[in-house]
A and B are shown apart, each in its own frame.
Chain A
Amino acid sequence: QKEVEQNSGPLSVPEGAIASLNCTYSDRGSQSFFWYRQYSGKSPELIMSIYSNGDKEDGRFTAQLNKASQYVSLLIRDSQPSDSATYLCAVNGNTGNQFYFGTGTSLTVIP
């Protein structure tokens, strides 16, 4: 079983819609959860971090964490074509020192 799993997509949404990206993780000891955005040919860029159960909002982005279900999600409201990218979910390992990334979900926002 992979440490972090994401649907690879591709996920397509029309401009202005809500994009919903999901991630599950296997290590119940994980405490830190991150969402990165990666444009083609570029390096990952941190967009959200979340550490406690519930929602965390930052502009058009909302991260949701449910530790009991081992589930992290990212909502992008009012999606823009510039949001078209691959979104990577990352989780720290039980020892706290390792990072595990999902394989990413490709998002396309259609104008």
Chain B
Amino acid sequence: EAQVTQNPRYLITVTGKKLTVTCSQNMNHEYMSWYRQDPGLGLRQIYYSMNVEVTDKGDVPEGYKVSRKEKRNFPLILESPSPNQTSLYFCASSLKGPGGLGPIGEQYFGPGTRLTVT
């Protein structure tokens, strides 16, 4: 089954304790992205990756790191989480970047990770 998976689905942690949220896709997609969703603010892009070893900042990258060592995986790293990073996080992937016309730019989302930082 074609899918994007994220782990963990729920996480409660304390300020300053490093954590990693994993994201994996099995569709051989080149483009992967992380979003956070907050009430009233909608989905905001944190980082995206056009392909292996190619990553770039989205709108809200502060406090986050990413890496893309393999095509299928795109982990999100919070080196020193703070309470303002409490949010619902989504990973997404598409065959190509969103600028590509047609289905190659259509993104598919993982199930989400609800993170609480106390």
Contacts and interface: CB of A to CB of B under 8 A. Distances in A.
Given A32-B101, A96-B99, A49 B106 contact: yes
Contacts of A92: 97-99, 105
A102 B42 contact: yes
Given A31-B101, A51-B102, A43 B43 contact: no
Contacts of A34: 106-107
Interface residues of B, number: 29
A95 B42 contact: no
Contacts of A46: 106-108
A55 interface: no
Interface residues on A, range: 20 to 34
A70 interface: no
A99 B45 contact: yes
23 contacts: A32-B101, A43-B90, A43-B109, A43-B112, A44-B109, A49-B106, A51-B101, A51-B102, A88-B42, A88-B43, A90-B107, A92-B99, A92-B105, A95-B99, A97-B50, A97-B97, A97-B98, A98-B48, A99-B33, A100-B59, A103-B41, A103-B42, A104-B42
Given A46-B107, A96-B98, A103-B41, 18 more contacts: A31-B101, A32-B100, A32-B101, A44-B90, A49-B105, A51-B102, A92-B97, A92-B105, A93-B98, A96-B99, A97-B50, A97-B97, A97-B99, A99-B107, A100-B59, A102-B42, A103-B40, A104-B42
